[in-house]
Amino acid sequence: MSANRVAVIDYGMGNLHSVESALQHAGECEVVVTSDAEQVKSADRVVFPGVGAIGDCMAEIRRLGFDALIRTVIDSGAPLLGICVGMQALMEGSEESGGTQGLGIFEGVVQRFPGGEDELGNPLKIPHMGWNTVSQAQSHPLWAGIADDTRFYFVHSYCVQPSDTAVEQGRTEYGIPFAAAVGRANVFATQFHPEKSHTAGLTLLANFLTWNGQC
Amino acid sequence: MGLAKRIIPCLDVDNGRVVKGVNFVGIRDAGDPVEIARRYNEAGADEITFLDITASHQDRDTTVHTVEQIAREVFIPLTVGGGVRAVEDIRVLLNAGADKVSINTAAIHNPQLVRDASNRFGSQCIVVAIDARAVHAEGESPRWEIFTHGGRKPTGIDAVQWAQKMADYGAGEILLTSMDRDGTKNGFDLPLTRAISDAVPIPVIASGGVGNLDHLAQGVLQGHADAVLAASIFHFAEYTVADAKAYMAECGIEMRL
């Protein structure tokens, strides 16, 4: 049996070692952090991360031609996991950075949190930073072994609102409800950071490592 | 259900060794930050903060190496601070596996560093650490000033205005330490914590003075902190992270249990 090769797409935005080490910790795999399109295409599965401002991320993705690469991966049927800004980039567009066009894999937009107050009457701080509950909108192989309403680690100021609720895999609330995870066919994406979400996050990554890309 | 308030154990590290002693049952090496970080990760800490108090430049390599080792084994967020002077220092720490980098004195000398760093790496990974002391006379309305050099040197900068400025410059979070309370075990400076937390739109971590579990709870309830940081009560096993979370949850605070 060939090695379970995972490509983590590197487009120069942030540290990817935590994703790499969490994958290695989660299960049997050979991880390559790469900006080489051929290595991405030949991998068994692909992780599409992202941190920082989406405008900068999309600019780099387009400059490197990775918009086409991501579509190629999705069309190939290989399992693809988007994380944080990687998830946001899969949407049609974002309010952030003066309006940014996304890859349009999923219909819907990325909007800024409106703020508001928590249950103690204190203002909701932005970024939404810390551990929040994720209610599983539907059953999915990546939720296997993870209890509904488990907490995952989030850090973001903008949130995903899919227009087609059928792609919503997880929901969270912070002043407003938003999509904590979206997915369709061989694509799954999380707003939270599984690589920073302790046991629950490692379980999700382990599920990704054995996922055949079907729901 | 909603966003949980966070508990953050803090490791003070000098040349690769934890300097405020750690007293866990069964720990092999009480000075090893990697082992201690692993313990806190298992104990349910929501994040870990690692403050490098190393003075000499050559020891920075040890710090980077330690951060790399922790990041390989600890799958919760890791903040690293101490000695960060330039964008390049931040890049090195993020590449070593830090999720957030804390800037303290350098922000005072060069506030633009905060703006440059948040533009380059994103606000989510830039923490501004503020060390403050009360400077009002008795009977006056409360006022706090930023101090450097371990709380010895006043800067003349108002702490609340400074926190607002740092949020404007792109800080993603404030790590607020009361130098009046640090090490006293008398609890957080709650008026200070509330003044800063209510003045900025970004999360605030309360630090300095925790001696018991109620101090942690009051940091959130009265201080309006989004996260609470403590060192010695956890290091000396006076309380576990689980004890702290259970107590805070009983007080009606949303926690990750």
Residue with tokens 């300095």: B208
Mutate to test the interface with B, among A84, A97, A122, A135 (most CBs of B within 10 A): A122
Which member of A120, A125, A201 has the closest CB to residue B201? A125
What is the structure's pLDDT at B62? 84
Closest to B256 in 3D by CA, of A154, A41, A14: A154
Which member of A127, A197, A202 has the closest CB to residue B123? A127
What mean pLDDT is reported for chain A?
94
Judged by CB atoms within 8 Å, which residues 57-76 of A form the interface with B? none
Looking only at the bridges linking them, the beta strands covering A30-34 and A5-9 are: parallel
Query: Is the pLDDT assigned to residue B192 strictly greater than 60?
Result: yes
Query: Is the pLDDT assigned to residue A52 strictly greater than 90?
Result: no
What mean pLDDT is reported for chain B?
92
Residue A175 C-alpha, separation from nearest chain B C-alpha, in angstroms: 9
Listing DSSP states for A101-131 in one string gives E---SSSEEEEE----B-TTSPBPPSSEEEE
CB B240 within 8 A of CB B211: no
The ranges assigned to domains in chain A are 5-210
Query: Is the pLDDT assigned to residue A40 strictly greater than 60?
Result: yes
Residue A40 C-alpha, separation from nearest chain B C-alpha, in angstroms: 22
* CA-based torsion, A111, A114, A120, A123: positive or negative: positive
Interface touch A130/B203, C-beta < 8 Å: yes
Which member of B95, B123, B173 has the closest CB to residue A15? B95
Q: What confidence tier does B57 reach under pLDDT thresholds 50, 70, 90?
A: low
Residue with tokens 């205005």: B161
Which chain A residues have a beta carbon less than 8 Å from that of B96? 17
Q: Quick one: tokens of A182?
A: 């979206």
Which ipTM did the prediction report? 0.94
What is the structure's pLDDT at A197? 98
A153 CB within 8 Å of a chain B CB:
yes
Looking only at the bridges linking them, the beta strands covering A108-112 and A100-101 are: unpaired
Mean of the pLDDT values across residues B25-43? Answer: 83
Query: Is the pLDDT assigned to residue B132 strictly greater than 90?
Result: yes
Interface touch A132/B122, C-beta < 8 Å: no
What pLDDT digit, counting tens, does each position of B203-226 carry?
Answer: 999 999 999 999 999 999 999 999
Helix (H, G, I), strand (E, B) or coil at B213: helix
Query: Is the pLDDT assigned to residue A92 strictly greater than 60?
Result: yes
Mean of the pLDDT values across residues A180-197? Answer: 98
Per-residue HEC secondary structure of B86-107 comes to CHHHHHHHHHHCCCEEEECHHH
Provide, rounded to the nearest whole percent, the portion of chain A with pLDDT above 90: 86
Q: Which residue of B has its CA nearest to A126?
A: B202
Which member of B4, B75, B226 has the closest CB to residue A22? B75
Query: CA-to-CA distance for B194 and B205, rounded, in angstroms?
Result: 11
Interface touch A156/B124, C-beta < 8 Å: yes
Q: Quick one: tokens of A5?
A: 């090769």
List phi, psi (to 5°) of A17.
-65, -30
List phi, psi (to 5°) of B54.
-60, 130
A133 CB within 8 Å of a chain B CB:
yes
CB A53 within 8 A of CB A19: no
Query: CA-to-CA distance for B78 and B70, rounded, in angstroms?
Result: 9
What is the structure's pLDDT at A16? 85
What is the structure's pLDDT at B241? 97
Residue B1, CA distances (Å) to A118, B27, B69, B257 in order: 10, 35, 34, 12
What is the structure's pLDDT at B25? 60
pTM for the full predicted model: 0.95
Residue B124 C-alpha, separation from nearest chain A C-alpha, in angstroms: 7
Residue A75 C-alpha, separation from nearest chain B C-alpha, in angstroms: 31
Interface touch B75/A127, C-beta < 8 Å: no
Which chain A residues have a beta carbon less than 8 Å from that of B95? 15, 17
Considering the domain A5-210 in this protein, what is its CATH number?
A: 3.40.50.880
Helix (H, G, I), strand (E, B) or coil at B209: coil
Least confident of A13-27, A95-109, A174-188, B68-82: A13-27
Which chain B residues have a beta carbon less than 8 Å from that of A147? none
Interface touch A51/B5, C-beta < 8 Å: no
Q: What confidence tier does B201 reach under pLDDT thresholds 50, 70, 90?
A: very high
Residue with tokens 């899919």: A162
Interface touch B202/A126, C-beta < 8 Å: yes
Query: CA-to-CA distance for B72 and A180, rounded, in angstroms?
Result: 26
Q: What confidence tier does A134 reach under pLDDT thresholds 50, 70, 90?
A: very high
Q: Quick one: tokens of B206?
A: 């309360």
Interface touch A129/B226, C-beta < 8 Å: yes
Which member of B121, B197, B252 has the closest CB to residue A14? B121
Q: Which amino acid is at A167?
A: V
Query: CA-to-CA distance for B220 and B135, rounded, in angstroms?
Result: 24
Residue A20 C-alpha, separation from nearest chain B C-alpha, in angstroms: 9
What is the structure's pLDDT at B103? 96
Closest to A125 in 3D by CA, of A133, A113, A134, A137: A113
What pLDDT digit, counting tens, does each position of B93-120 carry?
Answer: 998 999 999 999 999 999 999 999 998 8
Per DSSP, A160 falls in state E
Query: CA-to-CA distance for A139 and A143, rounded, in angstroms?
Result: 7
Interface touch A195/B2, C-beta < 8 Å: no
What is the structure's pLDDT at B28? 61
Angle between helices B213-221 and B190-199 (to 10 degrees): 40
What is the structure's pLDDT at B27? 60
Q: What confidence tier does B174 reach under pLDDT thresholds 50, 70, 90?
A: very high
Which chain B residues have a beta carbon less than 8 Å from that of A150? none
What is the structure's pLDDT at B24? 59
What is the structure's pLDDT at B23? 62
Q: Which has more confidence, A69 or B83? A: A69
Residue A43, CA distances (Å) to A31, A32, A183, A185 in order: 9, 9, 20, 18
Cβ-proximal residues to B131 (8 Å cutoff; 6+ apart), any chain? B104, B146, B147, B148, B150, B151, B177, B179
- Number of other CB atoms surrounding residue A112 within 10 Å: 12
Query: Is the pLDDT assigned to residue B152 strictly greater than 90?
Result: no
Q: Which residue of B has its CA nearest to A15?
A: B95
Mean of the pLDDT values across residues A151-176? Answer: 96
Q: Quick one: tokens of B210?
A: 């925790």
**Residue B151, phi-psi category: left (phi > 0), alpha (psi -120 to 50), beta (remainder):** left
Stated as kind and residue range, the H or E segment containing A31 is strand A30-34
